[in-house]
Amino acid sequence: MTKRWTGVVVLIILAGLVTWGLLNLPTIINAVQGKLTAWQYQRQLDALEKPYKTDKIGGQTPEETFDLFISALKKEDVDLASKYFVIKKQDDWKKTLEEYRNKALLSDFIVELEKDKSEWNKRETKDPKIIEFDTYTTIKNDAVADFNGQKIPIEAGKYLNTTRFEKYPTGVWKINLL
């Protein structure tokens, strides 16, 4: 008789567990899906952050990065020169620098960059990982600039140019704005 009652008790416990599982199934599924989604999100985030955490191309100071950039341009190594920019702008700058090289404009660009650097005025920012340098350029006569196939009219006047650098997690500085 005890065997019989033991079987009944086991069946009641089993039925209770099955009922509890069915009643809580949506909660269990949501918890598992939530953990899976969080895991997938973290993997995607890690994949996006990896280039920023492993990029070591740049200088220990903004000035050093700029000098390395100019050095690469002098060697006409536009691939290397483009890597001194923040990751999201590297492809665009590579295309621009290739166009400058193909049109024999790199040497003029280098002269302009070196002139600007000699006149840099450091501007403080609220973010210690951002450093900006300002220079003023005076255009004496109205002109038209050809930039990426677009004709851009430039009126005579005094213009502010900002060069912005961003410090990466690896400790190197990248050009963010030129």
Say how far apart CA 161 and CA 118 lie, in whole Å.
13
Amino acid identity at 143: A
**CB 82: neighbour CB atoms within 10 A?**
22
Is residue 51 classed as helix, strand or coil in its secondary structure?
A: helix
Beta carbons of 111 and 87 less than 8 angstroms apart:
no
Which pLDDT tens digit goes with each residue over 18-43? Answer: 787 777 778 877 777 777 777 788 88
Q: Kindly report the pTM of this predicted structure.
A: 0.72
**CA distance readout (Å), 95 to 88, 109, 123, 144:** 13, 15, 29, 21
Amino acid identity at 5: W
**CB 158: neighbour CB atoms within 10 A?**
8
At residue 1 the predicted structure's pLDDT band, cuts being 50, 70 and 90, is low
Which pLDDT tens digit goes with each residue over 70-88? Answer: 999 999 999 999 999 999 9
